[in-house]
Amino acid sequence: MAEVPALRRSIGILRHLGSSLLPVSAGALARTLSIPRSSLYDLLSVLEEFDMVRRSENGYLLGSGVGELNAAHSRHDSLRRIVQPAAAEAAEAAGGSVCVSVLRGGEAHCLLRETATWLPGTGAQCEARKPAYLTAAGRAILSRLEWREVAVIYSSEPVFAQSAGQELPSLREFNAELAEVRSRGCALEHPSMGNAVLTVAAPIVDAAGRPIAAFGVSVSPEGIVADREREVSALAIEAAEGVSARLR
């Protein structure tokens, strides 16, 4: 088990404050958690900077940042509940798998995965760390962001591109590709030597039209690829639009 004392102590502080209905003094925190006063004040200063704790006249309380994290977690839980039936249905209809992904920084993370019950193991695995621009799900989400937001995310991508052994296109080229994704309504990830499946992903948007996730369908490209691509694209777009409608 990794030993990161400052992180462990910070989590201990947050948990202790979360268990109390009243402000907790620095002295009480130091005694209860066995943290030296000097170290405690350093940790509290950083936590306060990020709105994880706040000071009152009588001590420390949890800050608004904790509430924001909890709200984000609740949103993802709500999204899972809403999208799960559609994901299971689409996986069965496609004879493959469905991965609902969200964007975290410059990476696409799988939030929920469903596979056709009669064809277990089909489809791409949801990878924990993969640059968003390399995946259909990531490109589907990025296609609905403003170009300034894309530029900020894209600026951190070269490190990931190098580690993934991929050539990074220019920002202009990438924006042109995202424009095609917007026009088509979905992003495509064609079979390659390292990935033997066809993946199509369509954006899921909230009531304001902001992308919050991508509905990705992965299948084996059997038969005529173009026909399979159109079929899966229509399925992904319809499912994503259905989930988006439920979020409004």
Predicted local confidence at residue 107, as pLDDT: 81
Q: In this predicted model, which residue has the larger pLDDT, 194 or 147?
A: 147
Question: What's 73-247's CATH class?
Answer: alpha beta
Q: In this predicted model, which residue has the larger pLDDT, 135 or 4?
A: 135
Burial class (CB in 10 A: 0-12, 13-18, 19+), 171: middle
Predicted local confidence at residue 145, as pLDDT: 92
- pLDDT tens-digit profile of 228-244? 889 999 999 999 999 99
For 223, residues 6+ apart whose C-beta sits below 8 A from its C-beta are none
Place 119 in a pLDDT band, splitting at 50, 70 and 90: low
- pLDDT tens-digit profile of 79-112? 888 999 999 999 999 999 999 998 877 788 888 8
The residue ranges of every structural domain in the chain are: 5-62, 73-247
Of 19-28, 84-93, 123-132, 180-189, the poorest mean pLDDT is in: 123-132
Structure tokens at 177: 């590709």
pTM over 0.85: no
Q: In this predicted model, which residue has the larger pLDDT, 152 or 145?
A: 145
Nearest C-alpha neighbor of 110 from the set 87, 127, 92: 127
Q: What is the mean pLDDT of residues 138-156?
A: 86
Predicted local confidence at residue 165, as pLDDT: 55
Burial class (CB in 10 A: 0-12, 13-18, 19+), 101: buried
Structure tokens at 144: 């609905």
Predicted local confidence at residue 93, as pLDDT: 92
Percent over 70 (pLDDT), the chain: 85
Decide: 191 and 222 in contact? Cβ < 8 Å: no
**102-122 burial, b for 16+ CB within 10 Å, e for fewer?**
bbeebbbbbbbbbbbeebeeb
Q: Does the structure show a pLDDT above 70 at 4?
A: yes
Q: Does the structure show a pLDDT above 90 at 42?
A: yes
- Under CATH, what is the fold of the domain 5-62? Arc Repressor Mutant, subunit A (1.10.10)
- pLDDT tens-digit profile of 9-19? 999 999 999 88
In DSSP notation, 132-186 reads GGGSHHHHHHHTTS-HHHHHHHHTTHHHHHHHHT-PPPPHHHHHHHHHHHHHHTS
Q: What is the mean pLDDT of residues 202-229?
A: 86
Q: In this predicted model, which residue has the larger pLDDT, 174 or 152?
A: 174
